[in-house]
Structure 1
Amino acid sequence: MAKLRLFHTVQWKIIAIYMLLILIAMQFIGAYFAREVESYYTNNFSETLNTQATLLSTHLERYLQPKDEKEQDVAETKEAIDNLIYNLVKLNSANVQVIDQNGSVISTTEEDKSIIGQRTSQPEVTVALLGTRSESLRIDPRTGNRVKVLVVPVKSNNAVYGAVYMVASMESVYTTIRKMTNILATGTGIALIFTVALGVVLARTITKPVKEMTRQARAVAEGEFDRTVRIYGSDEIGQLGMTFNDMTARLKEAIWQQEEEREKLSGILANMSDGVIAANRDGQIILLNRSAEEMLQITIDDVLEHGKTLYDILRLPPEEEMPLFVEAEPLVIEMMLDNREVVTLRVTFTPLQHDSGKKGGIIAVLQDITEQARLEQQRREFVANVSHELRTPLTTIKSYTEALLEGAVDDPELSNRFLRVTMTETERMIRLVNDLLQLSRFDSQGIHLHRKRVNVIRLLQYAADRFSMMSEQQGIRLTLEVPEQLPEAHVDQDAINQVLDNLLSNAIKYTPAGGSVALRAMVDRQQKKIEIVVMDNGIGIPARDLKRIFERFYRVDKARSRGQGGTGLGLAIARELVQAHGADIEINSKINEGTTVGFWIPVAEEGEA
């Protein structure tokens, strides 16, 4: 039975069930009410037709009324009307026409669909469009059968939107009346039994695949895409099942591709060196990549938890004072983080605009230019310091030279003193230029070391001897504290001598008379290095200056340093030379307690030249 052509579509399954039910009901009524069958059926036919027409007109009100743009389109409306008239009227094999308020046919159950869109000339329709129901009995000129014509207006609140034109043949009624007396109660019972069985079978063919698709839809909603709907046939439900399986496969592929693209985008954002912040139109943060979190010392969870905006995390003025949703030049922001670290950021804002012109959000790209800003500041300070250091001795030389030219040269004692000052300033300029040339050579060519095996004890003794006279003249006790045996070091002897000269010179210069300076050495055999320390009990260095003490031209007390003849480059050169050996140099100091500067050099390995 399931393979009959009649049951290949759901539509015909429903129609067949309804037709069978009506026919069986008519037989049942004829068997029990044979004597009144004619009166009953004619009245029932008219009432049924009127009821269906009234019901149909009621349902058609919402389809024929003027619609706004949000409602379904014309095609969907026509399809809904077609379904409505087939389900409500086709049961009586009546032909139905749905006519709009202009008299044009918009839907029909007749086989000839060419009348759709044409204006009808039936007088009953004209009366119905004026708001009056009309019905009559006719003889169909084509078949000679008796037909009932019923026209019902579709209206609401006295406004007519169209009409329902129904033509139903009554020959089946009279035929049924003639045959009713010959129908037996047994046939009626058997027909009822078959009807019930048929209804159950047909209902299962419809509901079973629908239930399976419902279960599959729940599984898809929960993320299970591997299950498929079983296909029972090639009817509309079977086609729906195949479409559903295809949709599930496509949805699975689409979600997989979307997830892959999302992971790619997430990977790109996470590995960008620049920080990226995305905010919505209200400034609320919706995305913060890893670089931005590291630059600002915050996390996306903290931002979302506290509802921080773009203005909050970048410490910007309110939007009223500083609108960001306009094209603007990159903004340089200097801010102090929670760990008391000051960073300088260059922020480029890119607003996102909708097609309507409304603001849609903003993208902020952050670049950490703290090191660039620091280097630029150092460059400016370096140029200023060099200019100042050169101008001061040149001014002195110029002044004393002018004095000599104006007659001081005739006074031997005065001229000698002026010449000595000029010589001192000239030597100071030579030291400054030599130090600058050495640093410039380090920056442009790097530091070329000539390493060899060096006796560290002899190296330190030689350094102490060089400064023994200078320390005695200033009343400072210079001591050398080294173990009896030290391994040889693999270093550039001239470079280490220059480091020791700078450190010992500074220690003696900034230690008052009666103080002490110690040169010590210790060996760390496990680390294969020799630690050398210069310690004094002089004036010390404030803690705020220790971080910058190795910067070029940086002086703690500029006036005193210049009076001592320093250039402010000694420690910078010492650090460059020590680091060129792959080692490091450190300084610790307390004001009025003394300073300790230590560095280490590598121990010579076996076989090193």
Structure 2
Amino acid sequence: MERLLTGKWASLGVMLISGTFVGVFLLYAQGSGLIMARGSSAELFAVAASVGVVIGLSHAIWMSRYLSEVKRLTAHIDSMASSDAVPALPGLAMGLDEVVQAVNRLGMKYHDRIEVLTAKRRELELHLRMAEAERQHALAILDSIEDAVVVTDSFNEVALANATAARVLGFELDEALNRPIDRVVREKHLVDMIKDTRESTLRKHPRHSEYYFDNAGCRSIYDVTLTSMNKHHESDDHSQCNEGVVTVLRDVTKEKQIAEMKSDFVSNVSHELKTPLSSIKAYMEMLIDDEAGDEETRAEFYNIIQGETNRLQRLIDNILNISRIESGVVKVQREYVAVAPLIQEVMDVMQPQARAKDIKLIVENINPVYQVFADRDMLWQATLNLVGNAIKYTLNGGVVEVGAKVDESKRAISFYVKDSGIGIPEDAIAHVFNKFYRVIGHKKIAKGTGLGLNLVKHIIETVHNGQISVQSEVNVGSVFMYTLPMADNIL
């Protein structure tokens, strides 16, 4: 090596990093410090270049180590972000220890916060599951209720509803939720009632109203109950806000019909009882006052009193029999009943009434072996009522025919009573078996209570599980027929 600088000593070195040659350096020292030798410009440039190389290489080494530590710190922070636990990081060089400690403290706080939030999240999930379970339970209860239930919120939107409400009010249950009530329910008056209830903050008690629905020509009556869901403000005990309305619609159509029938029943019974009683009372008073001057007149009064008494007795018996059948307390004594003798017995009883009006009674020849398993007295009463009605509404000189038809394939016997009477209007046929119903035009022709045919219907259909029907034409006549199962035991 040639001497480049003068001085006590000079040193030339080779720079290696990780076993790789990166350059050489030259140092010149004098005394205890490093000095720069004087010389030519070329020599000074060489020295300056050597010093620059040394500084650059040293800086490169420092930066390499610094970046390596930074990468470790970055990896540590990434692991903190991707893991629930906070991994420990050993100390770092290059003056990064304080940063590491700060990052570790932040990581611990971050970890504690995660644990708190995780616990809250689990608690909220539990509450959510419980709320959903309660909601499903509430929906199950709502769907099991026969009444229609609609719950609207503070925005007049449907919050809950059951299947009955969807059927009654005519909407799709899945499409109705969270929609405005006026877009779901077509009944404007009902919608107005719901809105009015929500907007009225002073209403503390449920509101009741009757509402009428007309569906396909049939009117239904509903009792509507609207209840506000009021909430007190925490800042003011006297202040309330309405959070919604619960609307319940209960079908009271049958109740109204039953109430009306009861009212009509009482009115009709009172009228029917009053008529014979008034007649009996009047004739009794005339007898007491000795207004019957001779035996013939007194005998006439006695016959009228006896007739009205019998009428009153029949009315009471019919009412009691119908009441027993409807309440299920009637005692049914079933036995094998021969059809032919039963019909003949009824005809023998009714023969005097038929003879009084010159009505011809015809009994069809019936095979004596046919029989039914029934209560004989009730069956006799039903047949007697039908024959009595036929005679009552057949004009003088008419014909009443009684018989039975056998359907071997269905194992059934049909009893029929056919007359040539005044007939029944078509619009009245559906009502002839109702309690106290009488055709308006028939009231002038014959007296009656309107209970005879209703009793027949109960005896045949309710007690014996049979069927009864009627065919009629005005001024031509009527045919009443009831059908019962044929008894298996043939005499």
Question: TM-score, length-normalised on structure 1?
Answer: 0.57
> Which residues of structure 1 form unaligned runs of 5+?
1-179, 213-228
2:255 is the counterpart of 1:378? no
- Given that 2:208 and 2:223 are in contact with CA atoms closer than 8 Å, whether structure 1 keeps it comes out as yes
Displacement after TM superposition at 1:422 (Å): 3.0
Displacement after TM superposition at 1:270 (Å): 1.0
Q: Identify the residue that residue 221 of structure 2 maps to in structure 1.
A: 344
- Aligned-partner Cα distance in 2 for 1:372–1:604: 39
**What is the aligned counterpart of 1:434 among 317, 322, 342?**
317
- Given that 2:466 and 2:483 are in contact with CA atoms closer than 8 Å, whether structure 1 keeps it comes out as yes
Amino acid at match of 2:140: G
- Aligned-partner Cα distance in 2 for 1:425–1:562: 18
Q: Identify the residue that residue 292 of structure 1 maps to in structure 2.
A: 165
Q: Deviations over 1:369-421 (max 9, x none)?
A: 32222222222111111211122222223333444555641155544444433
Following superposition of structure 1 onto structure 2, how do residues 188-587 of structure 1 map, counting pairs within 5 Å?
188-207=59-78, 210=81, 233=87, 235-236=107-108, 249-250=122-123, 252-281=125-154, 283-294=156-167, 299-300=172-173, 307-308=181-182, 313=187, 315-316=189-190, 318-319=192-193, 323=197, 325=200, 326-328=203-205, 331-356=208-233, 357-405=240-288, 408-442=291-325, 446-467=329-350, 470-471=353-354, 473-474=356-357, 476=359, 478-480=361-363, 484=367, 487-513=370-396, 516-523=399-406, 528-536=411-419, 538-542=421-425, 544-557=427-440, 560-561=442-443, 564-587=446-469
Displacement after TM superposition at 1:451 (Å): 0.7
Displacement after TM superposition at 1:492 (Å): 0.7
Q: Identify the residue that residue 143 of structure 1 maps to in structure 2.
A: none
Displacement after TM superposition at 1:335 (Å): 1.5
Displacement after TM superposition at 1:291 (Å): 3.5
Q: Deviations over 1:229-270 (max 9, x none)?
A: 775737446556666765665555444333322221111111
In 2 relative to 1, CA 297–577 (structure 1 residues): closer, same or farther, beyond 3 Å? farther
> Which residues of structure 2 form unaligned runs of 5+?
1-50, 89-106, 234-239
- Given that 2:182 and 2:188 are in contact with CA atoms closer than 8 Å, whether structure 1 keeps it comes out as no
- Aligned-partner Cα distance in 1 for 2:231–2:317: 63
SS of 1:448's equivalent in the other structure is coil
> Could you tell which deviates more after superposition, 235-244 or 396-405?
235-244
In 2 relative to 1, CA 543–230 (structure 1 residues): closer, same or farther, beyond 3 Å? farther
> Could you tell which deviates more after superposition, 445-454 or 578-587?
578-587
Q: Identify the residue that residue 47 of structure 1 maps to in structure 2.
A: none
Amino acid at match of 2:62: A
- Aligned-partner Cα distance in 1 for 2:76–2:369: 100
Following superposition of structure 1 onto structure 2, how do residues 160-179 of structure 1 map, counting pairs within 5 Å?
none
- Given that 2:470 and 2:479 are in contact with CA atoms closer than 8 Å, whether structure 1 keeps it comes out as yes
> Could you tell which deviates more after superposition, 497-506 or 571-580?
571-580
SS of 1:335's equivalent in the other structure is strand
- Given that 1:293 and 1:299 are in contact with CA atoms closer than 8 Å, whether structure 2 keeps it comes out as yes
Q: Identify the residue that residue 66 of structure 1 maps to in structure 2.
A: none
- Given that 1:311 and 1:318 are in contact with CA atoms closer than 8 Å, whether structure 2 keeps it comes out as no
Displacement after TM superposition at 1:349 (Å): 2.1
Displacement after TM superposition at 1:352 (Å): 0.8
> Could you tell which deviates more after superposition, 348-357 or 520-529?
520-529
> Could you tell which deviates more after superposition, 292-301 or 388-397?
292-301
- Aligned-partner Cα distance in 1 for 2:413–2:483: 5
- Aligned-partner Cα distance in 1 for 2:345–2:467: 21
- Given that 1:231 and 1:241 are in contact with CA atoms closer than 8 Å, whether structure 2 keeps it comes out as no
- Given that 1:482 and 1:522 are in contact with CA atoms closer than 8 Å, whether structure 2 keeps it comes out as no
RMSD across aligned positions (CA): 4.1
- Given that 1:327 and 1:349 are in contact with CA atoms closer than 8 Å, whether structure 2 keeps it comes out as no
> Could you tell which deviates more after superposition, 520-529 or 286-295?
520-529
Displacement after TM superposition at 1:499 (Å): 0.9
- Given that 1:283 and 1:311 are in contact with CA atoms closer than 8 Å, whether structure 2 keeps it comes out as no
**Length, aligned pairs only:** 411
SS of 1:567's equivalent in the other structure is coil
- Aligned-partner Cα distance in 2 for 1:443–1:577: 10
- Given that 1:523 and 1:531 are in contact with CA atoms closer than 8 Å, whether structure 2 keeps it comes out as yes
In 2 relative to 1, CA 445–401 (structure 1 residues): closer, same or farther, beyond 3 Å? same
- Aligned-partner Cα distance in 2 for 1:510–1:209: 103
Q: Identify the residue that residue 96 of structure 2 maps to in structure 1.
A: none
- Aligned-partner Cα distance in 1 for 2:412–2:118: 73
Question: TM-score, length-normalised on structure 2?
Answer: 0.69
- Given that 1:475 and 1:514 are in contact with CA atoms closer than 8 Å, whether structure 2 keeps it comes out as yes
SS of 2:483's equivalent in the other structure is strand
> Which structure has the highest strand share of the two?
2
